[in-house]
């Protein structure tokens, strides 16, 4: 559904640019096509710039970055934005396959068959192809990885809980595992926490969140849908979910320079293991080798602790 909507929106946008170039500027067909491409890229640059301007206006104290670190961060976030919404999501239907849930005993990478599978939960306005890079890194390291599409895009977060519960049971049944680890990016982390609040921890061995607005984000005030309303700081929904105790093994990975969650202090979750990665944008987290390494370390650590709890061995 999201892929079709993005393809249609992109087609309309490009057509508008071509028409304006041809009839307002009297450009040749080749020049009109080039201007259309530049228009698409320029609009995305403007949107990314606006998010950083808004984030700067509502920023939290954060480590200072050198000028070249700022440039690298801005370019990285812009590249992630363009790749995600102009290339990856619109074309996902042509290559995105169903998850390969191999039994734990035959997982590659030399990992033990005792390791739980991992279920990746995407964020607001996204879809499962968002995990294209990180899922590959996890699979290469030997983890069995599953994903889920949260639809409709702008529904209440609570509407995603029953589909998530069904997906969890499907993954566990196909892998033969008793529990799995939930990993959520952005809103996906809130979906995971809401699931734990409603259904309990019996089926979940651990939780890792990436760039999740645990205390909400001011950017949600201009977002669409019930889920955006729920992510506004101080919302009744966020207050409700905050009443549930946080698992001590929850790992929160975030950037103090996030351009979607503001103030950035709202990324921190009290009671969890909070780990910051500097100089990184919100969408760029999905394609960052630094985030991949931090995520793998969090999963390995949680796996060792889980084994220790089950078998009484040292973690």
Q: Are 85 and 115 found together in one domain? A: no
pLDDT of residue 26: 77
Q: Are 109 and 86 found together in one domain? A: no
pLDDT of residue 98: 81
Q: Flag whether 79 is in a domain.
A: yes
pLDDT of residue 248: 85
Instruction: Please tell me whether residue 254 adopts helix, strand or coil conformation.
Output: strand
With beta carbons less than 8 A apart as the criterion, state whether 66 and 44 touch.
no
Last residue of a domain, one of 44, 69, 94: 94
pLDDT of residue 111: 54
Q: Which residue is listed with tokens 């192809």? A: 129
Q: Are 23 and 135 found together in one domain? A: no
Task: Walk along the chain (315 residues) in steps of 10 and give the mean pLDDT of each run.
Answer: 87 91 83 92 96 96 95 97 94 76 53 80 95 94 94 95 97 94 98 97 96 97 96 97 92 98 97 96 98 96 65 48
pLDDT of residue 110: 46
Last residue of a domain, one of 60, 94, 128: 94
Q: Are 28 and 139 found together in one domain? A: no
Q: Are 83 and 124 found together in one domain? A: no
Residues near 225 by beta carbon (within 8 Å), at least 6 away in sequence: 153, 154, 155
Q: Are 81 and 121 found together in one domain? A: no
Domain span at residue 218? 104-311
Q: Are 23 and 128 found together in one domain? A: no
Q: Are 148 and 285 found together in one domain? A: yes
Quick count: other Cβ atoms within 10 Å of Cβ 1? 10
pLDDT of residue 236: 97
Distance of CA 7 to the CA centre of its chain: 21
Q: Flag whether 99 is in a domain.
A: no
**Spatial distance between the Cα atoms of 144 and 165, rounded to a whole number of angstroms:** 18
Number of domains in the chain: 2
Q: Are 117 and 246 found together in one domain? A: yes
Find the helix or strand (DSSP H, E) in which 301 lies: helix 289-311
Residue in 48, 137, 123 with CA at minimum distance from that of residue 89: 123
Specify burial of residue 147 (Cβ count, 10 A radius: 0-12, 13-18, 19+): buried
Last residue of a domain, one of 94, 123, 149: 94
Residue in 256, 254, 250, 220 with CA at minimum distance from that of residue 235: 220
Q: Are 38 and 118 found together in one domain? A: no
Q: Which token pair is 244?
A: 């549930």
**Spatial distance between the Cα atoms of 165 and 142, rounded to a whole number of angstroms:** 24
Q: Are 50 and 133 found together in one domain? A: no
Residue 246 vs residues 228, 269, 272: alpha-carbon distances, Å = 23, 8, 7
Q: Are 88 and 158 found together in one domain? A: no
């Amino acid at each position: 559904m999201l892929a079709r909507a993005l393809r249609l929106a992109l087609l309309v946008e490009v057509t508008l640019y071509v028409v304006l170039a041809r009839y307002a500027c009297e450009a040749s067909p080749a020049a009109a096509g080039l201007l259309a491409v530049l228009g698409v890229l320029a609009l995305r640059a403007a949107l990314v710039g606006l998010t950083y301007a808004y984030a700067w206006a509502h920023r939290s104290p954060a480590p200072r970055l050198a000028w070249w670190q700022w440039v690298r961060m801005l370019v990285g976030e812009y590249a992630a934005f363009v790749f995600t919404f102009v290339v990856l999501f619109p074309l996902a239907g042509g290559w995105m396959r169903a998850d390969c849930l191999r039994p734990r005993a035959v997982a590659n990478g030399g990992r033990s068959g005792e390791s739980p599978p991992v279920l990746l939960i995407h964020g607001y306005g996204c879809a499962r192809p968002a995990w294209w890079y990180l899922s590959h890194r996890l699979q290469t390291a030997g983890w069995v990885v599953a994903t889920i599409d949260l639809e409709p895009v702008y529904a209440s977060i609570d509407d995603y809980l029953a589909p998530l519960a069904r997906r969890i049971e499907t993954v566990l049944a196909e892998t033969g595992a008793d529990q799995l680890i939930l990993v959520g990016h952005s809103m996906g982390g809130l979906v995971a926490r809401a699931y734990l609040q409603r259904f309990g921890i019996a089926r979940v061995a651990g939780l890792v969140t990436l760039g999740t607005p645990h205390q909400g984000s001011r950017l949600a005030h201009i977002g669409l849908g019930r889920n955006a309303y729920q992510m506004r700081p101080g919302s009744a929904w966020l207050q409700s979910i905050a009443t549930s105790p946080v698992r001590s093994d929850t790992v929160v990975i975030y950037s103090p320079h996030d351009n979607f969650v503001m103030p950035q202090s709202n990324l921190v979750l009290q009671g969890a293991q909070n780990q910051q990665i500097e100089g990184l944008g919100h969408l760029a987290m999905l394609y960052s080798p630094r985030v991949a390494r931090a995520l793998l370390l969090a999963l390995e650590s949680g796996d060792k602790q889980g084994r220790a709890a089950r078998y009484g061995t040292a973690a």
